[in-house]
Copies of this chain bind each other. A is one copy, B any other.
Amino acid sequence: MFEQLGLIGCGLMGSSFALALKRAGLVKRVVGYSKSPSTTERARKMGVIDVEASSALLAVAGADIVLLAIPVSATEATFKAIRHLVGPHTLVMDVGSTKHDVVDAARRALLEHVGSFVPCHPITGKEVSGVEHADADLYAGRQVILTPIERTFTVQLQKAIEVWTALGCHVTQMSPQAHDAAYAAVSHLPHLIAFAMINGLNSQAHGRDYMALAGPGFRDFTRIAASDPQMWRDILLANREELLAQSKIFQQTLQSLEQLISSGSGDALESQIRQASQTRAKWRVS
């Protein structure tokens, strides 16, 4: 389907995409670039990429498909670095967890080539990062949200849908704004809470002892707290307005539960817990 993938960012997400694309027979050659040359070299040695590029621009040279798999704050500078080699026939995608800021960066940096860019957010990941955790199955069966804008070329949008579908993903489209509102609620806020939970424990004299006693509930609840710091700094900052609005709703709900606990209102508390429990028991990951 494609001749050459230009992979910018050989971390977990980018490397896994390259492996999946190769395994599906959808690309002949992968040229990769990472900020750290040792990462690029490791990606080549692992067979994730075929050729090491010494710059983002060189990774794009000759590519008919380009994937940015980098912290979202690096998006604009990367688009500026590659725009001279992005043509109307190049499909450019990203995997960023926020979309409003990425789309704004694309408009500013890609200029007349912005139509080649299809903003993507695959709903997958791991709490570990780096090329050494690359996994050809990372995307299989997952949702991918595309947030095209009015200037996105139909042909590239269609190609993006075909690529993700070929990797076994369920593709959904929405506006960047709707995307960011939803993921502030169901992803960015849970991460923020998980970070706060661990740091709140760290701040206590007995916090480490408490953690040594924790069980499988704590394990699952805090798994996302181990996520990549730079990536999550960017996400929390990029989507701060929606995130802080969600955090406010959460804290109000938490405080109303605390009120029921303080006043010993058992029936009302049980009814609130029942509502949460039933909602969660019915929910299934898509």
Contacts and interface: CB of A to CB of B under 8 A. Distances in A.
A250 B197 contact: yes
B217 A191 contact: yes
Contact of A237 (B203, B220, B240, B269): B269
Nearest to A200: B253
B250 A196 contact: yes
Given A213-B123, A280-B198, A229 B186 contact: no
- Number of chain copies forming the complex: 2
Interface residues of A, number: 91
A255 B185 CA distance: 17
Given A206-B181, A247-B254, A186 B233 contact: no
A276 B215 contact: no
Contacts of A196: 250, 253-254, 257, 276
A203 B269 contact: no
A228 interface: yes
Interface stretch (A12-20, A85-93, A259-267): A259-267
Interface of A: 123-125, 127-128, 142-143, 145, 172, 181-183, 185-187, 189-204, 206-207, 209-230, 232-233, 236-237, 240, 243-244, 246-247, 249-254, 257-258, 261-262, 264, 266, 269-277, 279-281, 283, 285-286
